[in-house]
Amino acid sequence: MSATSQWYNLEVAKTLEALGSRQQGLSSEEAQKRLLQFGPNELGEKKKASPGIILLAQFKSFLIIILIVAAAVSGVLATMGEGNVWDTILITVIVLFACVLGFIQEYRSERALEILRQMTAPTTSVRRDGQEREVPSRELVLGDIILLRTGDRAPADARLIEVASLRLDEAPLTGESVPVEKSAEAISGEIPVGDRRNMVYMGTTLVCGRGEAAVIATGTATEFGKIAGMLQQAEAQQTPLQASLNQAGKWLGIGCLVICAGVAGVGFSSGMFSSILDAFIWGVSLMVAAVPEALPVVVTISLAIGAQRMAKRHSLIRRLPAVETLGCTTFICSDKTGTLTQGEMTVRKLYVDSRVIDLHGVGYEPKGEFCLASAPFDPQKDDSLQALLRAGTLCNDSQLINFEGAWHIKGDPTEGALVVAAAKAGMWQEKLLTQAPRLDEVPFSSERKRMTTIHQTLAGRIAYSKGAPEAILNSCNRIYIDGQQRELSEQQRTTILGASQQMAEDALRVLSMAYKPLPEAPDSDAERDMVFIGLVGMIDPPREEVKEALKLCKQAKIKSVMITGDHESTAVAVAKELGMLTQSNIALSGSELDKLSDEELDEMVEEVALYARVSPTHKMKVVEALQRKGHVTAMTGDGINDAPALKQADIGVAMGITGTEVSKEAADMVLTDDNFASIVAAVREGRGIFGNIKKFLTFLLSGNLGAILFLIGAFVIITLTGEHVLPLVALQLLFINLIADGLLAVALAMEPADPDIMSQPPRNPKQGIFTPPTVTFIGGVGLWIGLMLLGMFLWAQSSGRSTLEIQCLCFVTLIMLRMFNCFNCRSERLSLFKIGLSTNKWVLAAIATSLAATSLLLYVPLLQGPFHTYGLNLTDWGMVTLCGVTVFIVVEIAKFIGSRAKS
């Protein structure tokens, strides 16, 4: 058995010879031998990580590791009687919450390959030992002769050796919007998958007809299997937010360890601490102050809030970090069929009575009227138009069905478009078939390029025929004009062919209609001397709302690219209608893309607006090229062929209605309305969410920096004075970091987006969160908070307060400083008085809740002991509030000066 990769080039006899097979099929013995040699016909499965391994992987974050260390140290100290067990409990709960959520997300995403495996047919009709039999699809081998019938799903890749009116739906694999007519004839040259008309591929479905084919590839060697392989190899991209947080976690961790170890070491060596254990306890307190324990949870909650907002805009988020990634998307690579277009063949133009009628989109919701591009038109008063629509509806095997209030086509979508067009004119198929029941038919064949049905009418038997314009026209000697039959002249033939050519150049699929009154006696040639009626041009039209969405993308400095498996002429027509393809853009075919090296593609990829006739490998190649150029790339799609690119892209967007389960599982986001416009709304949400994440990160880190500076300053003062007073205990810091700050940070996540957010260019993902203005804000505010806390510490000491009172006053002062700082963080540039105090009621609610929780710690005796608190009097409240409000006043003055300087 010889091997070849271009089976479509071989004649049937040569194919069977190369496979070592014959039309009667393999023998059972030979099939068993090949099964052992090549293995079963199933998709290879990469060894998957167990749930336990996936769960453990969630603990690799540097910040999570620091929290685990802090919890462990606190636990050890608690068992020694030197610490508080609540420290360990609170930190452990926060770590588990963040890690379990990450585990759930990752575990679900790994189901994509499982669903892909389940899509292969379980059994197959095959000819072995000269007899037809049913065998499990996994037992198919190279050289097997498979028998295919309407409704079957191809179980393997195979070369057709015999066909009868065979058409396949290859949309899940190639993106082709209409069923593909198949042939057993050899094809010369090297052509893409979508043009191999003598091949069938695993996972595609037979729409009509029957055929026999010789298996040429099984399992992972099939086109379907290659997609599964790419889906395994595609690496999930780290989001810009994840990169920024990981970087921040490393900085915090290294800084914490260095500062804590340094301070504890110096303190012990200078005699401040009586033992290494005392120094260690101080170091742990400093670490707790430095690490924002609430950060993992607040980020998760913030992204979840964003996901809920997006769900209301028809966008379901499967992977939470994708919410933020949308905000810096620079390229959207979109499939055409069903995403940019309606996914439904629609009659666009009609040709009758030597005139072209240009229709607006006739969708799948009949309303009993036409909507014409020029003037209102009544089809009931046009005999020629009625004859055309009647022929298209009767010579038709599709049905228009109303299911649960929605209209659906059962059968071929091209034929369905004809039924819909007639229904829009009030000519319902069911009524027409009642008036003219079908008596006989001559099925479509690739040789005749037509289909004919014979009907019984009140006027006698009539044959209706539809097919390729040339084939129909060649069988006609008369033409139907103005309700009458006339001789068909050569000039009229030329005009009709010209109209057909013009429709084809507009990327319309053109069918022609004819009829013939038949005598009562049997007529052996119903397709001869027919009467030409007209032409019908159909297309899968663009969604109307997509045009506006593309304008918004352009305004937001986001480039949109069409990547489709459909023919270039069709794709170009749709792209031009949508405004995606202009004179300054480039259109490439899959074959042209194959000839480009990675370096050549990198040079031009930013200028390409359309890729046509592409394979899944091409889609991956384009996404990778854009990523090499530093772009954050979103990929939309709905088919199996889109799944690898969806997973490779920075954010994969699948279609919820028409999308396959494979594409949904591989994607980060699913559009519940299959509407490209929903992506734009999601981008807006993504940009706003990142801005809010930046706000609460600034809030958390500036507060933690203030606490660190205060503890270091207090350490210096204690060293100089010799009064060994621990200014804050770890449980107080945990309460601030987790409860008080956590509530305020979540409230900042609810901040409304800036009104001009979609007029700004996408954020540079390399820039990260910590821009120079942000770092300046964190440093300046942190320094002020540290100074105010030191002032309170010195005042309390000078007032002769006890250690517990000093710790409590510093604790409440830090809470007040952070509360007032929350107002500062609502905007990096604008004053609170400009954005309004009540525009985010969540902040006011969070402050009230935090004050209430703090009051419980101060005035409930059971809580006073663990948290080192007491009931503050009015003088104490006045002092801590005065210290707290200063941070708000100072930042407001700085914003005022900054705005004046810019103006």
Which residue numbers are catalytic? 335
Helix intervals (H) in 119-239: 171-174, 223-233
Query: Which residues fall within 8 angstroms of residue 835, CB to CB, at 6 or more apart?
Result: 826, 827
What CA–CA distance (Å, rounded) separates 160 from 702? 69
* DSSP state for residue 81 in the 8-state scheme: T
- 3-state helix, strand, coil split of the chain in percent (to 5) is 55, 20, 30
Task: Determine the residue type at 867.
Answer: F
C-alpha angle 658-664-668 in degrees, rounded to nearest 5? 130
CA distances from 163 to 168, 191, 243, 776, 869 (A): 12, 21, 55, 73, 87
CA distances from 57 to 47, 53, 61, 66 (A): 16, 6, 9, 15
Q: Residue 377 belongs to what H/E stretch? A: none
What CA–CA distance (Å, rounded) separates 868 from 854? 12
What CA–CA distance (Å, rounded) separates 175 from 610? 14
CA max distance for the chain: 122
Q: Within a 10 A sphere around the Cβ of 800, how many other Cβ atoms? A: 7
What CA–CA distance (Å, rounded) separates 652 from 235? 12
CB 786 within 8 A of CB 705: yes
CB 545 within 8 A of CB 311: no
CB 291 within 8 A of CB 703: no
Query: Which residues fall within 8 angstroms of residue 753, CB to CB, at 6 or more apart?
Result: 684, 685, 687, 688, 691
Query: Would you call 480 helix, strand, or coil by DSSP?
Result: strand
Query: Which residues fall within 8 angstroms of residue 52, CB to CB, at 6 or more apart?
Result: none
CA distances from 647 to 99, 234, 257, 314 (A): 22, 6, 37, 21
